A = this chain, B = another copy of it.
Amino acid sequence: MRRDLRTAIATVCLSGTLDDKLAAAAEAGFDGIELFENDLLASRRSPAEIRQRCADLGLSIDLYQPFRDFEAVPPDVLAANLRRAEHKFDVMAELGVDTVLVCSSVSQEAIDDDDLAAEQLHLLGSRAAERGLRIAYEALAWGRFVNGYEHAWRIVRRAAHPALGVCLDSFHILSKGDDPRAIRAIPGEKIFFLQLADAPVLPMDVLQWSRHHRLFPGQGDFDLTTFTRNVLDAGYRGPLSLEVFNDVFRQSDPYRAAVDALRSLVSLQDSLRLLDIPAAPVSTGYAFAEVVGETNLAGLGFTRTGVHRSKPVELWTQGEARVLVNANGEPGAIGALGIAVPDPAAAAQRAKIMLAPPLSRTAGPGEAPLTAIAAPDGTEIFLCANDDWLGDFVPTGESSPGAGITGIDHVALTQPFDNFDEATLFYRAVLGLEPGATAEFAAPFGLVRVRGVSGGVRLTLDAALVRRGGWAPAVAEPQHIAFTCTDAVECARTLRQLGARLLEIPGNYYDDLAARTGLPAERIEVLREQSVLYDRDSDGEYLHFYTELAGARVFFEVVQRVGGYRGFGVLNAPLRMAAHHDARVLRT
């Protein structure tokens, strides 16, 4: 691996006191930080002590920020602003940081006069230069008079001071829909700093959007690759630095967040082809999915076809679907997923570079060496060739006719509240799975957001929109494995005969389905009889049914895709959640 560019993170991205933030950034592997002034103010450490602490941790301080409302003001305000500046320069000297961020003014005292702004920024540049410092001037998207990067650059050019340059922030530029191509017209040495943030496209006030909903690159809707390419094409060689204000990251474990953050920069560099690392694997499907504890797979038409040579694990198969049943671990949950990739060693190397936490595995004599990593929700992800690992299982010779299940369609993993956006990036960076749009729906116990990631294998990731409190049912939201079949109604009928406990869907649903879709009455009756749910989009249909909970946190789905239907029946998820809840309540 080759890293052309240094990485940095603004302390405002992370939760905790300054000590927590510095420790997290260093432990994750960042090269430097942007020091957010409020973090310094609340710290017991003096600036000199912070400098020492950063040095001890191997972190450079690349930027001090922010300095607000400086330019284009009347003389008396200018005097006060220079006093503020000199104080910041004192702090910077003690910190050993040479660049300060000056945001375009939002003050009511500012005047709409580019010449005056340039003149005063020139003066500020002179004062900075006397101290060996630099000013990076940034256009806030909501700046009073200066809110575009091209405008900020015009003022900087007019000011013409060597200690004055621009700071480019991807959020301020892309949130406004500004074209980043004009960045190439700025000489690289005048781009003093680069701040990177992604975001979902949200129809809201840009200030609120910026302060609450920024994301790390690769987690949102912005094209950070093209943006950053323009900045590098201009000749910028400073750090890639993250400045992400996000309500969730602000309160989550800062080490976890810092790893997520650094992964976003590694992934960005990969997308820019700056790294000499293995390409994202092109998965050929699920090698297997593993559930922990007893589950009635026989009732679903599966056959126990193998027993592991050294571990308490059974292999159950039906069609192309392979499910491992592991007697060890937290019972009633999905423990692991096997992702079939053409070159497991290369995929493992990439996973390591993408900061995927490795899991140690002990392979028995003659068993296939398997690389496992931990997904953000703790699920073990095995990177394996599709068939090598099968040799670890002694065939039982058992067989059964099956029930029409043909393979694994997708696996649905409920994410911890803090890790929803991290998960999307994880699967994209490590496994090359591309995220779809995020959908929201009203579930019985609160809103839920869900996002599919796919490419060879399909996963759905969901999480509560508001972290669940005391009222939500004590049992965590379950995960599930969705199997494919070619005839959902027939499959459901067969499974009932085999004794599977399928989830009963209320009759009101079918009455409404008939009115809503105009499907023929006899078709509705067949669906109703088998509790098969229905969805359709412009490309096809989706027929699906669920089992009752097969353990504390796991159940199964069987789906039939007709035509080019691309979704996951999210519309029907609240029904399923209510029915699972009712079944639980009725049983207790």
**Is A465 positioned at the interface, with any CB of B under 8 Å from its CB?**
yes
Closest to A21 in B: B444
Per CB-CB distance, the 10 closest pairs between chain A and chain B, nearest first, are A251-B446, A87-B515, A203-B205, A204-B204, A42-B578, A467-B467, A253-B471, A41-B508, A250-B446, A84-B515
Contacts of A418 in B (CB 8 A): 469, 471
Closest to A250 in B: B446
A to B CB contacts below 8 Å, 7 in the list: A15-B444, A88-B515, A90-B511, A247-B466, A251-B447, A253-B471, A254-B471
Binds B, one of A43-51, A107-115, A313-321, A488-496: A43-51
Bound complex: CA of A209 vs CA of B248, how far in Å?
20
Q: Report the contact-size class of chain A (Cβ under 8 Å from the partner).
A: 35 or more
Q: Are A509 and B41 in contact (CB under 8 A)?
A: yes
Contacts of A363 in B (CB 8 A): none
Complex copy number for this chain: 2
Q: Are A251 and B15 in contact (CB under 8 A)?
A: no
Interface centre among A91, A252, A509, by most B CB within 10 Å? A252
Closest-CB distance, A545 to chain B (whole angstroms): 16
Contacts of A80 in B (CB 8 A): 518
**Is A514 positioned at the interface, with any CB of B under 8 Å from its CB?**
yes
**Is A498 positioned at the interface, with any CB of B under 8 Å from its CB?**
no
**Is A75 positioned at the interface, with any CB of B under 8 Å from its CB?**
no
Contact flag A251-B472 (CB < 8 Å), given A467-B467, A512-B41:
yes
Contact flag A250-B205 (CB < 8 Å), given A467-B467, A515-B83:
no
A 478-508 binary contact with B (CB < 8 Å = 1; else 0): 0000000000000000000000000000111
Contacts of A90 in B (CB 8 A): 511
**Is A582 positioned at the interface, with any CB of B under 8 Å from its CB?**
yes
Q: Are A506 and B42 in contact (CB under 8 A)?
A: yes
Contacts of A45 in B (CB 8 A): 506
**Is A413 positioned at the interface, with any CB of B under 8 Å from its CB?**
no
**Is A565 positioned at the interface, with any CB of B under 8 Å from its CB?**
no
- Interface hits, A202-224 → B, CB 8 Å: 202-205, 207-208, 212
**Is A349 positioned at the interface, with any CB of B under 8 Å from its CB?**
no
**Is A38 positioned at the interface, with any CB of B under 8 Å from its CB?**
yes
Contacts of A509 in B (CB 8 A): 41-42
**Is A40 positioned at the interface, with any CB of B under 8 Å from its CB?**
yes
Closest-CB distance, A180 to chain B (whole angstroms): 25
Closest-CB distance, A509 to chain B (whole angstroms): 5
Bound complex: CA of A114 vs CA of B578, how far in Å?
40
